[in-house]
A and B are shown apart, each in its own frame.
Chain A
Amino acid sequence: MRWMRRKERESDLDRELQRHLELEAAEQREAGVGAGEAEWAARRALGNTALLKEDVRQVWGWTAFERLAQDIRYGWRGLRRSPGFTLFAVAALALGLGANAAIFSVVDAVLLRPLPFRDAGNLVEVWEEASHMGFPLDTPAPANFVDWKRRNHVFSDMAALTGDLYALTGAGRPEQVTGSPVTANLFPLLGVAPILGRNFTTAEAREGGPRVVLIGYQLWRDRFGSNPDVVGRRIWLNAEKYEVIGVMPRGVAFPEETQIWLPLALGPRDWAARDSHYLRVFARLKPGVTIAQARADMNTLAANLARQYPETNTNVGAAVVSLRDQMVGSMKLALWVVAAGVGCVLLVTCANLAGLMLARAAGREREFAVRAALGAGRGRLLRQMATESALLAAIGGAAGVGLAVWTVPLLRRMVPAALATWSQPKVDAALAGFVLLAAAVSATLFGVLPALPASGGDPAAALQRGGRAAIGGGTRLRRMLTVAEVALSLVLVVGAGLMARTVWELSHVPLGFRPDGVITLRTALPVSAGSRYQSFASRSAFYLRVLERVRAIPGVVSAGYTTFLPLTNAGGTSEFWIEGAPPPAPGEIRDANHRSISADYLQTMGVRLRAGRFFRDSDGPAAPPVAIVNAAMARRYWPGRDPLGHRLRLGEAEAPWITIVGVVDDIRQMGLDVGGRAEMYFPCTQPAATYGFFTPRDLAVRVTGEPARYARAMERAVWDVDRDQPIANVMPMAQLVAAKLAWRETAMKMTGAFALLALLVAALGLYGLLAYTVARRRREIGVRMAMGAHPRQVLRAVLGEGLRLVLFGVALGAAASWAVMRALGNLLYGVAPDDPWVLAGAAGVLIAVGVVASYAPARRAAAIDPVVSLRSE
Chain B
Amino acid sequence: MADDASERIQLLQGTLDMLILRTLLFGPAHGHQIARHIQRTTEDLLQVEHGSLYPALHRLERRGWIAARWEPAAKDLKREFKYYRLTAAGRKQLVAEESRWKKLTGAVARVLWPAEGA
Q: Which residues of A contact B (CB under 8 A)?
A: 1, 12-13, 15-17, 19-20, 22-24, 27, 41, 45-48, 51-52, 55-56, 58-61
Distance (Å) between the CB of B2 and the closest chain A CB?
Answer: 9
Q: Which residue of chain A is the closest to B63 with respect to CB atoms?
A: A59
Q: Are A16 and B62 interface neighbours, CB within 8 A?
A: no
Given contacts A59-B62, A61-B62, contact A16 B55 (CB under 8 A): no
A-B contacts, 15 listed (Cβ < 8 Å)? A1-B68, A12-B82, A17-B54, A19-B30, A19-B79, A24-B32, A41-B1, A46-B50, A52-B51, A55-B51, A55-B52, A56-B54, A56-B58, A59-B58, A60-B58
CA gap between A60 and B59 in the complex, in Å? 8
Q: Which residue of chain B is the closest to A51 with respect to CB atoms?
A: B51
Residues on the A chain within 8 Å of B68, using CB: 1
Distance (Å) between the CB of A278 and the closest chain B CB?
Answer: 81
B32, B61, B79 pick with most chain A CB within 10 angstroms: B32
Q: Are B82 and A16 interface neighbours, CB within 8 A?
A: yes
CA gap between A211 and B26 in the complex, in Å? 103
Please classify the interface of chain B as helix (H, G, I), strand (E, B), loop, or mixed, using the class held by over half of its residues.
helix
Residues on the A chain within 8 Å of B82, using CB: 12, 15-16, 19
Q: Are B54 and A16 interface neighbours, CB within 8 A?
A: yes
Q: List which B19-68 residues lie within 8 A (CB) of chain A.
A: 30-32, 36, 49-52, 54-55, 58-59, 61-62, 68
Q: Which residue of chain A is the closest to B33 with respect to CB atoms?
A: A23
Q: Are B32 and A1 interface neighbours, CB within 8 A?
A: no
Residues on the A chain within 8 Å of B51, using CB: 46-48, 51-52, 55
Residues on the A chain within 8 Å of B62, using CB: 59-61
Q: Are B31 and A20 interface neighbours, CB within 8 A?
A: yes
Interface size on B (CB < 8 Å)?
19
CA gap between A15 and B70 in the complex, in Å? 10
Q: Which residues of B contact A (CB under 8 A)?
A: 1, 30-32, 36, 49-52, 54-55, 58-59, 61-62, 68, 79, 81-82
Q: Which residue of chain A is the closest to B60 with respect to CB atoms?
A: A59
Residues on the A chain within 8 Å of B30, using CB: 16, 19
Residues on the B chain within 8 Å of A15, using CB: 82
CA gap between A41 and B2 in the complex, in Å? 11
Distance (Å) between the CB of B32 and the closest chain A CB?
Answer: 4
CA gap between A23 and B58 in the complex, in Å? 20
Residues on the B chain within 8 Å of A60, using CB: 58, 62
Distance (Å) between the CB of B36 and the closest chain A CB?
Answer: 8
Q: Are A58 and B50 interface neighbours, CB within 8 A?
A: no
Distance (Å) between the CB of B34 and the closest chain A CB?
Answer: 10
Given contacts A1-B68, A47-B49, A59-B62, contact A52 B31 (CB under 8 A): no
Residues on the A chain within 8 Å of B1, using CB: 41
Residues on the A chain within 8 Å of B32, using CB: 19-20, 23-24
Distance (Å) between the CB of B26 and the closest chain A CB?
Answer: 18
CA gap between A624 and B89 in the complex, in Å? 115
B51, B54, B62 pick with most chain A CB within 10 angstroms: B54
Q: Are A52 and B54 interface neighbours, CB within 8 A?
A: yes
Q: Are B55 and A19 interface neighbours, CB within 8 A?
A: no
Distance (Å) between the CB of B56 and the closest chain A CB?
Answer: 8
CA gap between A605 and B61 in the complex, in Å? 94
CA gap between A52 and B58 in the complex, in Å? 12
CA gap between A303 and B61 in the complex, in Å? 82
